[in-house]
Structure formats: C-alpha cells, structure tokens
Amino acid sequence: ALVDRYLARIEAYDDDLNAILTFNDTARKRAERLDERFAAEGLVGPLHGVPVVLKDNMDTHDLPTTAGSTALSGSVPDEDAFVVDRLRAAGGVIVAKANLQEFAFGVDTISSLGGATRNAYDLGRRPAGSSGGTAAAIAANLGAVGMGSDTCSSVRSPAAFNDLVGLR
C-alpha cells in the first residue's frame, strides 16, 4: 500500500516538478514479495519496503541508467551499482529514477532527456545541482528516501534549495 501511495503521488505531482525520468514498473511486485517475506520471516533489513528514488546516474539492472542524456536513452546496465545493491539488500524498493543535470555536470538540473526540474516549494525556481531531481522528488514526498551523488555540491546545494538534509 505504501509503494502504491508513492507511485500515485508521482503520477499526481510530477508533471509540474519534472523530477522523475523513469518509473519502476516492478516496484509493486517487489513490495508484494517483501510483504510475503515479512509474514514468513520478518524484516529483510532496516529499509524493508521503504520507497527509494535514485538519481539516474546509478546503475540498475532492471531500469535504464541514462545520466539524463538522450545519447544513453534505454541503456540498461547488466548489474546494480554497489549502493543500489546495498539498498535492495536492506529491503528498499526502487520506485523511480530522478532527473539530473546531464552527466551530473552542472548546477541547474536540466538534461536533454528530462528537461528542467522545478523546485518543489516554488515551481518558478530551480532545485539546484546535479541531484536536484532527487531533491525535488523527496521534498514533494515522491519517495521516502532519495539517493544523489556529489561531484561539486551536488548533494548539499539541492538539499539546501529544497529544505532537506543531505548526507555526503
């Protein structure tokens, strides 16, 4: 039910934010499997069933990883990045991948694949940094946890611009 609610929020609010590049069509199935496992064995880990939004420069074996570029549209890696593997092992449910400054190089959260992301608190403002899509998504409650990456203030600036806490 929690994953359904977050997916519904993405559907309802992301047209204005433009924070999400890709929905995870298998998120509901993963959540159902986690529910079944919980009934039989208890928690998988500390993130059991928690909806997660990833910046789209983190490899996922089941979703495209594009870095926001049309040049990489549809590119699906063979395996998960280390951090994604750990999130899944802890019970996290990847619900979506977020827009970013193309190739994580810049401060405006604009990509050729996703266009410009808007700030969750003021659609006329930018969310800042290459992790701005993740920050806007979390600020708008499109996921419970968001993962960004930091090249040069790419976690700290979006957190500050979107009234969040970012850990680098």
Q: Quick check: is 55 catalytic? A: yes
Catalytic residue among 111, 131, 154, 157: 154
Separation of alpha carbons 156 and 64, rounded Å:
25
Q: Residues 130, 131, 149, 157: which is the catalytic one? A: 130
Is 97 a known active-site residue?
no
> Sheet harboring 51-55: ordered strands across?
20-23, 93-98, 51-55, 145-147
d(CA 12, CA 35): 25
The angle at the Cα of 91, spanning 87 to 97, to the nearest 5 degrees, equals: 50
CA 49 to chain centre: 15
| Bridge partners, 53 (sequence order) | 96, 146
The question of whether 149 is a catalytic residue gets the answer no
Active-site residue list: 55, 130, 154
